[in-house]
Structure 1
Amino acid sequence: MFRSAVAATLLIATPAAAQQLTPEQSAKVDTIVADALRSSGVPSASIAIVRDGKIVFTKAYGDQGPGIAKGPDVNAKYQIASVSKQFTAAAILLLENEGKLSLDDKVSKWVPDVTDADKITIRQLLSHTAGLQDYWPQDYSFKAMETAVTPQQIVDRWAKKPLDFTPGTAWQYSNTGYVVAGMIIEKASGKKLLDYLQAKIFKPLGMQAIDQDKAVGKGFPQGTHRYALGPVRPAKPAADGWLWAAGELAMSAADLAKWDIARIDRKLLTPEDWAMQETEVKLADGTPTRYGLGVSLGEHGGKKEVSHGGEAVGFLSSNVVIPEARFAVVSLVSADFGGANDVIAQGITDLLLPVAKPAAALTLDQQRDALARKLFDQLRASAPDRSLMTEDANYFFDATVLGDYRASLAPLGEPLAFEPIGKPRLRGGFVNRNYRIRYKDRMLVAVTYAEPGADGKFEQFLVMPR
């Protein structure tokens, strides 16, 4: 029976090159991962951290299942699913540099039996703007996925349906589009997709990536499901062929980090092609999509964030790169529930690249309460800012009134609390707000009326014993 992470003791492998994190940072990373696994019930995780363009930390946590005999293995290959899309897109860019195709080729040149193939470009396939219906929108494997499938069979069932929208006019995630892109890679290169990736990307970067369909059984992490709050259960893998060019790869966290370093250093692909992959594809009417060619686009602390997540049967993954900061984090987990992968990636990013969060804007009531307290303090000192008061209020606060306010209030010192009573209400065109002013041995009340709005002037500010 699969050993649930909830019941098992957390097992930790030795970190590699962890000395570039401080001991305190390493301990906090451990806590981030352990907390994410514990709270979600996710059995295992494997992470890699890149700082200054180098892998400085790799570690595996938890129970990777019966296929991993001696505890968590940092070299274990997790299925990265849709994180693979950026490799498919990179293959297209490499083939364009070889002069074998163009991003703006019509799909009809390569796979003519796709619906409206003469209206869809390769660029639109890679940016999810082609209109092809997604063959796997579900977060579970459906019945057909128990039987092996070929790319052509996926195309026959889903890519020959009417388009969901005119190409370029909307954004809709589509695994189908990436299957078509994979078929184009094989036709343009004359090689199997994984053979081309091996020759052009994995071997040059020293990556040990394999077909995710083969990453099952002895030596590989066990993918898991969880139904509602039930027990963690082993996940039955989909039959061969279902993820292919839309999510075909399995690798270790460190191997994926090597790809991230190539992105940071602008190696393997040309700088122009890296920039092309990271350029947002906008819709025909200029609407932003926050997506490039196989990557999601965002920002962290004012710097571009290039990321993608992945979901296979029993696995989730997150890959976050901030090229300008020369930083990346890879988070792979052996569960398709709980979202621990994102929690880990975000937590580590926030730890090592902290961003000051802007103070939350004050509500209108909070602004008015602060202004009331300000005027109260001024009246205690007999020095009110008369621009805060209406003509009638300025008439009321003559020398006698100000003298009595100062003489009776100043000796009380600072109040222990100045807090609103009840909710604001309208009267006579003004907003009535009342306040409880608490001292150690007495209580006062301020009854105020003011013009509406954040800058409304006070019509009344009466202080009296409660």
Structure 2
Amino acid sequence: MIKLRALFALFLAIAALPAHAQQFSADEQARIDRLVHDALTSTGVPSASIAVVRGGQIVFTRAYGTQSPTMPVATPDARYQIASISKQFTAAAILLLRDRRRLSLDDTVSRYVPGITGGDRITIRQLLSHTSGLQDYWPQDFSPAAMATPITPQGIVDRWGKRPLDFEPGAQWQYSNTGYVVAGMIVERVARQPLLEFLQQNIFRPLGMHPIDQDLAQGPGFPAGYRRAALGPVRVETPPARGWLFAAGELSMTAADLARWDIARINRELLPARDWQEQETAIRLNNGMATNYGLGVQFADIAGHHAVLHGGEAVGFLSTNIVFPEDREAVVVLVNAWFGDAHEQIARGIIDILHPQGSAGDAAALATARRVYDQLRAGTLDRSLLLEDANHYFTDEVQHDYQSSLAPLGEPDSFVATGPARLRGGFVNRNYRVSYEGRQLTIVTYAEQGGAGRFEQYLVMPSG
């Protein structure tokens, strides 16, 4: 994509926004423009299309870059392939059929699709939660040779759904596109209509969305997918033959379309509230252990905020969709390349804009964490920076061990945060990596909520 840098004039277009929507300020828009420009330039990704929900409304949509050789001026009306983000729509279709008493999530697969290994033990719920044990038919991040030939859902089932299970149903969590293909087949057999037609009728039209089958989102008027081998030239990717994504990832839509679905999630609209809640409830394994995945969506704490999210990878496309239901916010980022992390860079940058206190807090916490580290090296620990339990931990012996082992290392080469801040036990967990020549240390902290809160825990340990 660096070869396409000459094309990165980053033409942009702004979709019309409701007059009553709380739009981003001029400064915030400029920050988004800069972070998208930097992400595309640093990775070589040709284009990005984004949508942001704030206060339960779409407040920003914009497209950047070159969407295809015949689309040098990006438009937010272009449909990108969202790949596995489609899974939550397949799960919603199943839930709607359950609400109509056409099936149960605890029905076994064999009741609807015969011949699948373990089909008399695998439930629909396990298909949707990736706990079925069915082997994934597309774990690769490239197109296997088989994808050059068209296939049907039944063809996928015949080739992968009849292999031995990777584990007993419910025993483990393992991502499986195969399970979602089976779920889509169940929708079609119970609803007696194609999956996409069912979704159009029950979800897309009521919400004013206009997705199409990704197999049709090719050629003039559609973003082209791009690939790159290592740091080589950016090239247009060859699309797969028809039929390969189906219910596991068949949808193409605009960023604004996906944002409309996110708003329905935030407002608990269209689907019964029970369905939204069930989709967002973590599934437990047979041993009682919770996963971080529900029915077509996963969960995370991002900068101290609860998020419902999913990513997508199609041939030549990457996407991310992050919803903060309690904050009534959402971030959609779609790119037409399946290399690099431009989509993640952009999403993180927008989240920092939405939650400026969190990003500023992380910066303040980093400074305080470095201050305590330097104090431990010097043997001058300021106990006012610690809460009661941390003060109890840092006995004279512990402080001696810290100083005697850290001081000889000298000044660190770098001291950086690793991973997002997370809530746990009423505290904010932030981790750091300290680097020296030939050695790295990990610091695991828990602190009061707020940027420079006092530490409940401050542990330094060796790292690989």
TM range (shorter): 0.7 to 0.9
Give percent identity, aligned residues only.
56
The match for 1:263 is 265
Q: Distance in 1 between matches of 2:94 and 2:382?
A: 64
Contact between 1:67 and 1:220, CA under 8 Å: does it hold in 2?
Answer: no
CA pair 114-12 structure 1, distance change in 2 beyond 3 A: same
Select which of 193, 208, 220 maps to 1:218. Answer: 220
In the alignment, is residue 283 of structure 1 matched against residue 270 of structure 2? no
Q: Distance in 1 between matches of 2:376 and 2:202?
A: 64
Letter in 1 for 2:6: A
CA pair 264-374 structure 1, distance change in 2 beyond 3 A: closer
The match for 2:137 is 135
Contact between 2:107 and 2:124, CA under 8 Å: does it hold in 1?
Answer: yes
Where does 1:181-196 land on structure 2 (aligned, <5 Å)? 181-196=183-198
Structure (1 or 2) with the larger CA radius of gyration: 1
| TM-superposed deviation, 1:14 | 2.9
The match for 2:6 is 7
| TM-superposed deviation, 1:231 | 0.7
User: 1:111-167, CA deviations, whole angstroms, 9 ceiling, x for partnerless residues?
Assistant: 121101011010000000000000000001111100100000100000000000011
| TM-superposed deviation, 1:361 | 4.7
User: 1:58-112, CA deviations, whole angstroms, 9 ceiling, x for partnerless residues?
Assistant: 00000111343x6111100000000000000000000000110111111111112
State the TM-score, normalizing by the size of structure 2: 0.78
The match for 2:33 is 30
Select which of 106, 117, 137 maps to 1:104. Answer: 106
Contact between 2:2 and 2:233, CA under 8 Å: does it hold in 1?
Answer: no
Q: Distance in 1 between matches of 2:409 and 2:147?
A: 66
| Structure 2: tracts of 5 or more residues without a match | 384-394, 411-464
Letter in 1 for 2:142: Y
The match for 1:383 is none
User: 1:150-187, CA deviations, whole angstroms, 9 ceiling, x for partnerless residues?
Assistant: 00010000000000001111111000000000000001
Select which of 119, 130, 141 maps to 2:121. Answer: 119
Q: Distance in 2 between matches of 1:20 and 1:332?
A: 20
Contact between 1:12 and 1:72, CA under 8 Å: does it hold in 2?
Answer: yes
Q: Distance in 2 between matches of 1:321 and 1:126?
A: 19
Select which of 32, 41, 44 maps to 2:44. Answer: 41
Q: Distance in 2 between matches of 1:54 and 1:96?
A: 29
Contact between 1:3 and 1:63, CA under 8 Å: does it hold in 2?
Answer: no
The match for 2:178 is 176
| Structure 1: tracts of 5 or more residues without a match | 376-387, 391-422, 436-466
CA pair 59-370 structure 1, distance change in 2 beyond 3 A: same
Q: Per the alignment, in what secondary structure is the counterpart of residue 128 of structure 1? A: coil
Q: Distance in 1 between matches of 2:149 and 2:409?
A: 71
Contact between 1:225 and 1:234, CA under 8 Å: does it hold in 2?
Answer: yes
The answer to which of 356-365 and 180-189 deviates more is 356-365
| TM-superposed deviation, 1:260 | 0.4
Where does 1:394-405 land on structure 2 (aligned, <5 Å)? none
Q: Per the alignment, in what secondary structure is the counterpart of residue 330 of structure 1? A: strand
The match for 1:63 is 66
Q: Distance in 2 between matches of 1:142 and 1:433?
A: 52
The match for 2:315 is 313
| TM-superposed deviation, 1:339 | 1.7
User: 1:355-392, CA deviations, whole angstroms, 9 ceiling, x for partnerless residues?
Assistant: 132446569974444544879xxxxxxxxxxxx999xx
Letter in 1 for 2:37: A
CA RMSD in angstroms comes to 2.6
